[in-house]
Amino acid sequence: MISLDIHKSLRAEGGVMDLRVNIYIEKGEWVTLYGPSGVGKTSTLRMLAGLMKPDEGSISVSDTPWFDSAKRVNLKPGLRNIGYVFQDFALFPNMTVRQNLEYARKKGGNGNLLNVVLEMIELGELQDQKPASLSGGQKQRVALARALVQEPKVLLLDEPLSALDPAMRMKLQEYLGKVHREFELTTLLVSHDISEISRLSDTVLVMEKGRVVKKGKPSEVFFKQQLSGKFKFTGKVISIEKADLMYVVHVLVQEQAVRVIATAEEVTDLKPGDQVMVASKAFNPLLYKLDI
């Protein structure tokens, strides 16, 4: 689906960073770029979208070349059939929700798609309001809807939920997962939130200093062993207390403290401040320190 082999010299903290990314993404896959700030995650998305030109290399989607330095091919962003959702909403303040979507709608496209998207993302009651009257979560839903009415093959998400409160993040994650499946998109996400990545992603690409240094499923990348369980959540250790033969670990999950009973083996090398994953199956919680 997406074949990307690019090189770009970027200004970075401490000098010039040599960004070299060579990846292949299957159709319908959800891939997340993970790593510290300044390693080239957003630049990779921008080059795929045509908002930044690589120094050399190639980008092709469904065997169609979007960029090829050797053949001097460089499709304009408007021809790349991409939906891009940024952290900042970039909505037209003088337009209503519906007008923002109508402006972005693909010319000659599905005439009923706008109404379908409004219903799916629950924006029908807000369609006549302007952005100034909307909450941050509502604005982000409009930004997502605007990307979808362009009928993209590829959806790019650059930390779109990082400024939202935990409850709203989880709600919008549900929307993102739903539209990814319903619209059969190939999705690339930039995120620092491990629980978000674990909930949404098929594959994680860990980047360091302009390179992909690790690739795999979230459980393979972040956790020391394969996890199984009916539910999983991540959090930060607040305290560890000895209780008879077991231990009680208090874990901060979003804004709530959760008590987890753990074995001596599970709390080995564990200390307050560590990020952990709790997986539970048949009411038997298991505690894993995150390998990051």
56, pLDDT greater than 50: yes
Same structural domain, 215 and 238: no
Asked if residue 247 lies in contact with residue 241, where contact means CB atoms within 8 angstroms, the answer is: yes
Q: What is the pLDDT of residue 291?
A: 61
**H or E element at residue 208:** strand 203-208
pLDDT in tens, 66-123: 999 999 999 999 999 999 998 888 899 999 999 999 999 988 888 799 999 999 999 9
Query: Do 238 and 165 sit in the same domain of this protein?
Result: no
Query: How many CB atoms are located within 10 Å of the residue 176 CB?
Result: 25
Number of domains observed in the structure of the chain: 2
Give the domain-ending residue among 178, 195, 222: 222
SS3 41: helix
Let me know whether 161 and 283 are in one domain.
no
Residues 205 and 268 placed together within one structural domain of the fold: no
Same structural domain, 96 and 149: yes
Residue 53 shares a structural domain with residue 124: yes
Residue 155 has pLDDT above 80, yes or no: yes
Q: What is the CATH number of the domain that holds 128?
A: 3.40.50.300
Domain end position, chosen among 177, 202, 222: 222
- Tell me what pLDDT residue 242 has: 85
CATH number of the structural domain spanning residue 278: 2.40.50.100
pLDDT at residue 227 tops 50: no
State residue 125's pLDDT score. 95
Do residue 104 and residue 21 come from a single domain?
A: yes
Q: Which two tokens stand for residue 257?
A: 């403290």
Q: List pLDDT tens digits, range 28-51.
A: 999 999 999 999 999 999 999 999
> In the Cβ-directed half-sphere of 64, how many Cα atoms lie within 13 Å?
10
| Residue 92 shares a structural domain with residue 10 | yes
Pair 25, 32: CB distance under 8 Å: no
Q: In what order do the strands lie in the sheet with 246-253?
A: 256-262, 246-253, 231-243, 275-281, 284-289
Q: Which amino acid is at 210?
A: G
Asked whether residue 111 falls in the same domain as residue 50, the answer is yes
Note whether 133 and 245 are same-domain residues.
no
What residue numbers bound the domain in which 50 lies? Answer: 2-222
Same-domain status, 49 and 166: yes
Distance of alpha carbon 273 from alpha carbon 278, whole angstroms: 15
Q: End-to-end CA distance of the chain, in Å?
A: 29
Exposed, middle or buried by CB within 10 Å (0-12, 13-18, 19+), for 47?
A: buried
Q: Are residues 239 and 216 in the same domain?
A: no
Q: In sequence order, which residues have a C-beta less than 8 Å from that of residue 153 and are 6 or more positions away?
A: 61, 62, 81, 82, 185, 186
Rounded CA separation 160/142 (Å) = 12
